[in-house]
Chains A and B, each alone.
Chain A
Amino acid sequence: MAAHLKKRVYEEFSKVVQIPHEEAPAKKLRLSKPSKSAALHIDLCKATNSTDALQYLLQFARKPVEAESVEGVVRILLEHYYKETDNSVRLKIASLLGLLSKTQGFSPDCIVDDAINTLNNEKSHQVLAQLLDTLLVIGTQLPESPAVRQRLIEMACKHLSDTYFGVRNKCLQLLGCLGTVDTPLTKDNEGLGVRDVQSVISDYFGDQDPRVRTAAIKAMLQLHERGMKIYQIIYDQACRLLSDDYEQVRSAAVQMVWVLSQLYPESIVPIPSSNEEIRLVDDSFGKISHMVSDGSWMVRVQAAKTLGSMLQVSPHFLEQTLDKKLMSDLRRKRTAHERAKELYASGEFSSGRKWADDAPKEKVDTNAVNLIASGACGAFVHGLEDEMYEVRIAAVEALCLLARSSPSFAEKCLDFLVDMFNDEIEEVRLQSIHVLREISTHITLREDQLDTVLAVLEDSSRDIREALHELLCYTNVSTKECIQLALLELLKNLNKYPTDRNSVWKCLKFLGSRHPTLVLPLVPELLSTHPYFDTPEPDMDDPAYIAVLVLVFNAAKSCPTLPALFSDHTFRHYAYLRDSLSHLVPPLRLPGRKQLYGLDSVDSGCGSGSVESARLFLQQSLNRVSTIQNLEAPGAQDLLDFTIRDLQRLGELQTELAGAADFCATYLRCQLLLMKALQEKLWNMAVPLCLKQNAMATAAARQILEETYKLEFLYSGLESRQVATIHHVRLQAKALQLVLTARTRRGLEPLISSSEKFLQEVESFQRLFLTELPHLQDSFVEKVLELMPRLSSCKPVELVKILQTTLRQSGLLQLKLPEQIHRATATIIEPTGESDNPLRFTTGLVVALDIDATLEHVQDPQNTVKVQVLYPDGQSHVIQPKPGDFRKPGPDRHRLITQVYLSHTAWTEPCQIEVRLLLAYSSSSSSSSKPGWSDSTDSLPPPEAAIEGTIPFSKPVKVYIMPKPARR
């Protein structure tokens, strides 16, 4: 057996070797060819049989062609096309023609005629289909030429009657992509007159081949997408296709019906088998609802999704989607509905919830009751209990959309959504919780509903619980019992899952501030106060007690009578919590304690007004700084120092402006560093005498560079103006580096290369920020650009001198603040770094460390956020979390819940490692057009490699670990 296997292996191997041998000469030839077309020509002429020719064509297709030589290549290909007898080769040529006409910079109008000519003589259906595809490509490349378009459409119409489905498909596709409504189309065969694209396409709705029917609907949808108005007559035909035998047709038909329902929502359509009429949007809603119980799940998903976007539907139709027992024929008027409702109430059908309630009653007027009512009845009930979770999710999402626009529907679908909290798939449960949150503005939960919702708090999945907390933050409840119930369940949750602490507290904060009047009667009970007796003081560190206090304090904020019920220790606890958990406990006006909390009550007045004044202050500080004309002006340094300090404090006080204040402070710090580095003393001294200052200036330059990267990548909401300013500072820092290099290093070689590099950067700056240059007046870069011709021709030493003076003369560039600016921040919630128990594991094996962090204002965290682990020996690992570990609980907010694997060789003592999050960035400073494909052998590396780096943006957390040696 083994010998046999071995032989097999060798056989395989020898096969693999053979192919490159055959390929080798072809490659060689291609390299030595002067022109693409000639090479191809020779190749094709050489081909003795069709297999060879196909091989050549395949190889040829792998390499793109320059725009100039496309036409030549096409001619050669066509020449071979006519000679060729083998279908597959012609097919390949046809597909190549299409590929070639897509070449950028090539206008295919010169080959239209040839392409059409080939079509006329072609016998093979497959090749014909491919040629039509090519025409389609050509047509889409030439959108501005009606003549070409007209000809192509004529060709398509001519081949519409082909017997091969592929050809008809392509023709329809072509009509869909190119056809226009206003220009009348071909004359019909019988000469019955002029017809337009839509009626031609709609003829094929009844084609015998389902693929063609699908293509016809898709073509019609394509027309719609191109902005053409579809006629209403299509509606009937599309509706008929809803009961097609093939799922792809039905799926497309659902889309078609939807499109028409959006185009003609208010037109009236008759109901077959009765003389009544309804709105078209209602009719189509009923029909699409019907498709939610289709046999194919693809169609069901499509239908459920579509329902969500039909917002114009009448409310009584909408509500029937939630009631499958309402057996009325949807199409009858209101009275009929009511009658049907009574019928149901009288118990015609059993619900299966009670024993023996399905005993047959007297027979009712069956005409009024219609079981499967070709209508919306119970569409969502079906969708929500579908077998496939894709359908269920689509249904939940559709419910959300419809409920958001209709409060009464929201009220009705509540029970169904709550039911979905019990789905077997977590994704569906999560989605339905989110949906309920989104529509929670419309609804008030009753006690029994709240009860069901709260039952989910015991779920073992953290995502579910947190989503539910989020939901409770936004929920309105009606009675004080509800509040009590919610509090009880939340405390239970806290007890069962202590890690939920923060989330539960936050939830109670909102619950309290939303329902102050409902909390009020509960306070004595909650704080367990007694009119006569002093009750024992609860433990201040008990998370459950804190939870109760958070609820009470937040309710007290808008309910001034509430603090009267507090006992003494409550006030003390308030003071403590206000300090330790200031984000959860609001400032309160407490009677008799004004002197103590005076500061707080002033703070509590902070509303929009204070934000305004803070913004004003920020602007003023910036204006003040802008008065500094020259970096060397006296007192400038002090002013900068103070402003930076002010801004930092402002950022701490006003969270709304923290991003902007930090941004400005960092920018100004860069300027300050630059200023210090350019101190006069340094530059007037001889080189050997100022080594120390030199070292300081070098460090400053490096620091400025780092800060500029932070400025550029840590803040979101920057406009190109700010980016230009940041790049400008970076350029200054680089100039400084260059000058310093010139002073310290001996030898010209490194200087020449670095000055060249600098000049390149100036150029790329100019290229990148061409539009911003007018704003950079009087700046360093402007001066440099003025001197550019001189700079690029002069010697490096001279260049350094010029730069030195320019640097010192250039003024401070004023920073203009953008509207919204946010700093990316990350907080590691877990591990907390408080544990004294080391994490023990065997060396050489790994231990998983759970990390839970919130990220704010981070764009694309999946690619940028990394976890860094620093071991005490200086080793550091950077770990990229899986994309699935990021969740998005809200706008501009992300949650990272991941595991990092730690491992190390043995230690004798437990020791702390540091874990922190990094923000990775990469920018290619020269956005050079990549040299892409070409036969050019000189592949220069891009002038400057992309700058990549990481910025730590969270506080490091220490984790105590202990790798033990393995026991033998």
Chain B
Amino acid sequence: MPEIKVTPLGAGQDVGRSCILVSIGGKNIMLDCGMHMGFNDDVDDELEIKAYYAGHVLGAAMVHIKVGSESVVYTGDYNMTPDRHLGAAWIDKCRPDILISESTYATTIRDSKRCRERDFLKKVHETVERGGKVLIPVFALGRAQELCILLETFWERMNLKAPIYFSTGLTEKANHYYKLFITWTNQKIRKTFVQRNMFEFKHIKAFDRSYADNPGPMVVFATPGMLHAGQSLQIFKKWAGNDKNMVIMPGYCVQGTIGHKILNGQRKLEMEGRATLDVKLQVEYMSFSAHADAKGIMQLIRMAEPRNMLLVHGEAVKMEFLKGKIEQEFSINCYMPANGETETVSTNPSVPVDISLNLLKREMALGGPLPDPKKPRTMHGTLIMKENSLRLVSPEQALKELGLNEHQLRFTCRVQLQDPHSDPDTLHRIYTHLKSVLKGYTIQHLPDGTVMVESIVIKVSSSAEDTNTKVLLLSWSYQDEDLGSFLSTLLKKGLPSGLC
């Protein structure tokens, strides 16, 4: 039985690390392991790779890896709800053997996106109207752009004047790529592109350190996203003392960071050098994280229809919960290996066989051209395996090719039957009986005293001692084994009395 082996090296039941090793069809593939700059990763001829839109960040993709007829889909991070700048992940019904999915939000079903957006905009708008400053710590890629677009369009729509800044550096560079790859963004941005590129922000300007002390309202996007270092932390320290200000955390914060602390309601922070910082500003959390939630994961499974499911990139407890759901809903196997654990999935690959045209044509002539789902047909042929190729040909041709003579194999058997009628009559009774039982078969009553059912011959003779005991002679060829044995058992039961 061919198998696919999956070993997570960093992503098993764990968030934040990655790398998965997959062996499929004799090939080893490392997923999500980062690029080796300067190395050329070889992709050989038998490996097919197809990328699907993942909607997590610009250019994020899910990969469909196929070797022969075995296939694996690795999702990476993906998002099933479209946001302000990217579309939703999409996959066709590729029916992979394994779907390896991330499961960061295995136990979350998010509220409607609009609701969150509205809350976010309302909070920002209110703070700005009050004259307060809003700090939004973000990572350079993804959320920064989504929220930029969101605020930009809101400012445009509402004719607001307060300045919006984003911190320089990586974000700026990232925005540049967003401008270039407009075709990968969502419907709205692609359509407005004719008039203007949405990433050419009108209201959002680059941030300078000195702006933080400017009076009046402003909105600042600053990196990094968990407030653990850098510019966002500096700005936070400056603004934390004023209760008019606000900080909005749009994503996940790892334990130990300031972001995590303030989200848990800590109002006094210890800074380096024993200084403490009173946190008076408002702290809001809003999940703008672009990962699929539980419902999104289920939706992807429904779209792809995999035979097996494998969860990575999540906390073990949460994965356990989702695993149960998946197994119940789709009745497929779901795995969640830990790091270093190998999960083996046996596959049932289809084997392509060449069929000879003559055989096919003959078959078509026999039973009509179209397959009928209600009546499956069997087909007789000979499978020739030669030099790594499989061919299905007619028996005659196989014999010819192999230089063999054909041998006929016939089974004969006798069945005793109690019947008071004369031989021809009995034969006739058998004929009518079979006619009524076997509908859809050709049954002939031949003048030479035999009944033919397809290729099976039935003869009747009286036994020597008792004329009432008839001996039926059945003979069938090897090809009609099924029908023959059926007939013999049928006739052993005797003929029904109601026959004329």
Contacts and interface: CB of A to CB of B under 8 A. Distances in A.
B406 interface: no
Given A163-B370, A378-B295, A424 B90 contact: no
Interface residues of A, number: 54
Contacts of B157: 458-461
B402 interface: no
A28 interface: no
A386 B55 CA distance: 13
A459 B157 CA distance: 5
A371 B329 contact: yes
A577 B21 CA distance: 81
Interface string A814-834: 000000000000000000000
B153 to A, nearest CB: 6
B145 to A, nearest CB: 14
A106 interface: no
A672 B152 CA distance: 66
Interface stretch (A278-286, A353-361, A514-522, A903-911): A353-361
Interface string B50-77: 0000000000000000000000000000
Given A363-B321, A385-B81, A293 B188 contact: no
A370 interface: yes
B286 A460 contact: no
Contact of A349 (B107, B119, B287): B107
B114 interface: yes
Contact of B111 (A207, A351, A366, A455): A351
Interface string B216-257: 000000000000000000000000000000000100000000
B380 to A, nearest CB: 22
Contact of A355 (B90, B121, B263): B263
A193 interface: no
B92 A422 contact: no
B408 to A, nearest CB: 31
Interface in A414-438: 415-416, 419-420, 422-425
A460 B82 contact: no
Nearest to B158: A458
Interface in A147-178: 161-163
Interface string A312-328: 00000000000011000
A389 B289 CA distance: 22
Interface stretch (B39-47, B132-140, B298-306, B383-391): B298-306
Interface in B379-421: none
B328 A161 contact: no
A370 B329 CA distance: 7
Interface in B98-125: 105, 107-119, 121-122, 125
A459 B298 CA distance: 37
Interface in A602-636: none
Given A355-B285, A423-B114, A163 B369 contact: yes
A386 B82 contact: yes
Nearest to B108: A350
A420 B295 contact: no
Contacts of B440: 190
A749 interface: no
Given A387-B82, A389-B188, A424-B188, A371 B110 contact: no
B187 A389 contact: yes
Contacts of B369: 161-163
Contacts of B125: 455
B188 A351 contact: no
B328 A366 contact: yes
B294 interface: yes
Interface string B149-191: 0000100111100000000000000000000000000111000
Given A386-B82, A452-B118, A371 B294 contact: yes
B17 interface: no
A416 B329 contact: no
A245 B125 CA distance: 46
Contact of A360 (B88, B107, B113, B116): B107
Contact of A353 (B87, B92, B111, B373): B111
Given A460-B158, A496-B159, A295 B90 contact: yes
Interface string B367-378: 011110100000
A352 interface: yes
A461 B159 CA distance: 10
A384 B82 contact: no
A354 B265 CA distance: 12
A208 interface: yes
B97 interface: no
B93 interface: yes
Interface residues of B, number: 61
Interface string A629-657: 00000000000000000000000000000
B293 A352 contact: yes
B287 A416 contact: no
Contacts of B188: 389, 424-425
Contacts of A325: 109
Nearest to A293: B299
A381 B299 CA distance: 14
Nearest to A357: B108
B159 A360 contact: no
A610 to B, nearest CB: 46
A348 B114 CA distance: 22
B5 interface: no
Interface string A453-479: 001001111000000000000000000
B497 interface: no
A550 to B, nearest CB: 25
B324 interface: yes
Contacts of B321: 360, 363
Nearest to B87: A387
Given A295-B90, A352-B108, A385-B81, A161 B368 contact: yes
Given A387-B87, A424-B84, A425-B188, A295 B111 contact: no
B322 to A, nearest CB: 8
B117, B119, B157, most chain A CB atoms within 10 A: B157
A458 B159 contact: yes
B105 A387 contact: no
A209 to B, nearest CB: 10
Contacts of B186: 387
A161 B111 CA distance: 52
B368 A385 contact: no
A459 B156 CA distance: 8
Interface string A190-208: 1000000000000000111
A366 to B, nearest CB: 5
A425 B188 CA distance: 7
A259 interface: no
B293 A356 contact: no
A748 interface: no
Nearest to A329: B329
Nearest to B159: A460
Contact of B108 (A161, A163, A351, A460): A351
A352 B317 CA distance: 18
By Cβ-Cβ distance, the 5 closest A-B pairs, closest first, are A387-B82, A352-B287, A352-B110, A419-B114, A355-B285
Interface of B: 81-82, 84, 87-88, 90-93, 105, 107-119, 121-122, 125, 153, 156-159, 186-188, 249, 263-264, 285-287, 289, 293-295, 298-299, 302-303, 317-318, 321, 324-325, 328-329, 368-371, 373, 440
Given A295-B93, A352-B116, A458-B159, 20 more contacts: A208-B371, A295-B91, A295-B92, A295-B303, A353-B111, A353-B119, A356-B263, A358-B107, A358-B108, A360-B107, A366-B325, A371-B298, A372-B302, A385-B114, A386-B82, A419-B118, A420-B114, A424-B188, A459-B158, A460-B156
25 contacts: A207-B370, A208-B371, A293-B302, A324-B295, A349-B108, A352-B289, A353-B287, A354-B285, A355-B263, A358-B107, A358-B318, A360-B318, A366-B325, A370-B329, A371-B294, A371-B325, A371-B329, A372-B295, A378-B295, A385-B82, A389-B187, A416-B112, A424-B84, A452-B122, A461-B157
